[in-house]
Amino acid sequence: MARIVILGAGISGHTAALHLRRQLSRQHDVVVVSPNSKWNWIPSNIWVGVGKMSKEQVTFPLAPIYRRQHIEFHQALATEIHPEGSSENPTPFVSIRYTDPLRESESATLEYDYLINATGPQLNFGATPGLGPDGGHTVSVCSAAHATEARARLDESIEVMRQGRRQTLVIGMGHGTCTCEGAAFEYAFNVEHELRQAGVRDLADVVYFTNEAELGDFGVGGMTFGQQGFETTSKLWTESLFRERGVRAVLGAHAERIEDGVIHYEQLDGTHHELAFDFAMLLPPFRGAGLKVFDREGRDVSERVFLPSGFMRVDAHYDAKPFEEWRASDWPESYESPAYPNVFAVGIAFAPPHQISRPRTSPNGTVITPAPPRTGMPSGVMGKTVALTIIDRIKMGGDARAHHASMASMGAACVASAGTGLRKGSAAAMTMYPVVPDYQTYPESGRSLKDTTGEIGLAGHWIKFMLHVMFIYKAKARPLWFLIPE
């Protein structure tokens, strides 16, 4: 009998749990620890943020699904990993603190044979003074609750415009090292769409505020598409959409601090500026979950397992080297911890070896570079891959070869909504292969020109909505859920 503990029930952790449970007999335990009681299809939060969906449409309670699937669920926060057990008992275990209202402030330990760290990000609003909805001056769409609040603030702004007063709406990134530029891009264009629907577009200045050096970077260094016999770039393509929709941009920006109605920021050229706003949705940078690791004697060995950012070291090449020497092979394939081979990290929890976009620093030494995205499709693929490795090792022995899923050999589809509506909706549908450029295989642009594509239209909106329906169906483990690819 084996016991697999999964920390986190987001896209990667939940995917891993469902695949493990489906392919392992009941004599094995699958245990999920998550501080949240609900699963959230985060890509649809932007629609909650403009009032096109309710919080209930993008979330559902995890406990009933896990009960039906015979997965043990603890609504709790993991605090410590003891991969060597204790001096009395060598069985590895994790320490948890319950967030379940019925067991609040209780603690417990859970023993494991295999551990998957899928804890996702800690939203680091504290990195920029004044950022965020809790005591700050900006809103967020990182969670369904945040998005609901963003929608209320947006409605207030629209109401002011209906009374004839101009408003400046700033949407983007709250720090120079943020990731998820795609989500901010989507929210900016959905807000712009809503302003037009509300008949107040002429009274709004919509500004996309980003750490990207160029539009269309999206944290992946931009894309080159093959289109009608020409190569074109995501930069040109995105700039065209900004021009068409009258959205302005501030590029290469690091928000230094935010006061009521003003963003103080530095740009890549080292200059400092202020941007006044009436409504601002700025995403925070991410940190790891802050887990501590202890050896058998109780010594803190967290630095052996985690990078200072709080993300877990896996089978990647972490040696520092210049951008020109970055290789696709630097990226992890099996997501195993080199320190403890029965421990894995997937989704945002694993430490990427370096950015995907070219790293940039201002003359003042401020890093202004998007962190690599590793959400959505790649997260689900990693979760499934690690689940398959563990299944093989349980069934065939601990030496079974690990399954591989490097972001340098994995494609991704990114459907960025630019407005909702069955007839009037629009989205930028992009595919890229691979996610991490591989200049050895694809010398021209690092990616396959045939498989890296982008187009804007109503079909993209239908796809985005279809993905919303399909992935919630899959996450609820409805009949034949496993036929839906990650």
Partner 1 sequence: MIDLNADRAIANAPLPTTATLRRRNNLLIQGWRFVTLNLRMYLMVLKGNH
Q: Which residues of this protein are in contact with partner 1, per CB under 8 A?
A: 207, 214-215, 236, 239-240, 242-244, 248-251, 253, 267, 273-275, 381, 384-385, 405, 409-411, 413, 423-424, 426, 429, 431, 433-434, 451, 453, 455-460, 462-463, 466, 485-486
Retrieve residue 290's tokens: 């802050």
Q: Which of 143/448 has CB closer to partner 1?
A: 448
Q: Which of 133/434 has CB closer to partner 1?
A: 434
Torsion sign over Cα 130, 136, 138, 140: positive
Rounded least distance, CB 215 to partner 1, Å: 7
Q: What b/e sequence results for 382-397 when a residue is b if at least 16 CB atoms lie within 10 Å of its CB, and e otherwise? A: bbbbbbbbbbbbbeee
Q: Which of 275/345 has CB closer to partner 1?
A: 275
Evaluate the omega torsion of the peptide bond into residue 90 and state whether it is cis, within 30 degrees of 0: no
Contact 309, 124 (CB under 8 A): no
- Phi-psi label, residue 220: left if phi above 0, alpha if psi -120 to 50, beta otherwise: alpha
Rounded least distance, CB 410 to partner 1, Å: 5
- Residues near 303 by beta carbon (within 8 Å), at least 6 away in sequence: none
Strand partners, 419: 426
Strands 224-227 and 230-233: antiparallel
Rounded least distance, CB 210 to partner 1, Å: 9
* Other residues' Cβ atoms within 10 Å of the Cβ of residue 423: 6
Q: Which of 281/381 has CB closer to partner 1?
A: 381
Q: Which of 145/400 has CB closer to partner 1?
A: 400
Torsion sign over Cα 434, 439, 441, 446: positive
Rounded least distance, CB 305 to partner 1, Å: 27
Strands, E assignment, 229-271: 230-233, 248-250, 253-259, 262-267
Q: Which of 83/252 has CB closer to partner 1?
A: 252
Rounded least distance, CB 422 to partner 1, Å: 10
Rounded least distance, CB 303 to partner 1, Å: 33
Residue 179 CA to residue 355 CA, distance in Å, equals: 10
Distances (CA, A) of 303 to 295, 315, 439, 453: 12, 15, 32, 40
Rounded least distance, CB 273 to partner 1, Å: 4
Q: Which of 205/295 has CB closer to partner 1?
A: 205
Rounded least distance, CB 296 to partner 1, Å: 37
Distances (CA, A) of 428 to 113, 142, 331: 43, 21, 27
Q: Which of 206/281 has CB closer to partner 1?
A: 206
Q: Which of 31/118 has CB closer to partner 1?
A: 118
Contact 136, 130 (CB under 8 A): yes
Rounded least distance, CB 47 to partner 1, Å: 19
Contact 378, 412 (CB under 8 A): yes
Alpha carbons within 13 A on the beta-carbon side of 388 = 12
Contact 185, 208 (CB under 8 A): yes
Rounded least distance, CB 14 to partner 1, Å: 16
Q: Which of 269/324 has CB closer to partner 1?
A: 269
Q: Which of 305/314 has CB closer to partner 1?
A: 314
- Residues near 354 by beta carbon (within 8 Å), at least 6 away in sequence: 326, 330, 372
Rounded least distance, CB 208 to partner 1, Å: 9
Q: Phi and psi dihedrals of 182, rounded to 5?
A: -60, -40
Q: Which of 264/476 has CB closer to partner 1?
A: 264
- Phi-psi label, residue 219: left if phi above 0, alpha if psi -120 to 50, beta otherwise: left
Rounded least distance, CB 53 to partner 1, Å: 21
Residue 455 CA to residue 225 CA, distance in Å, equals: 10
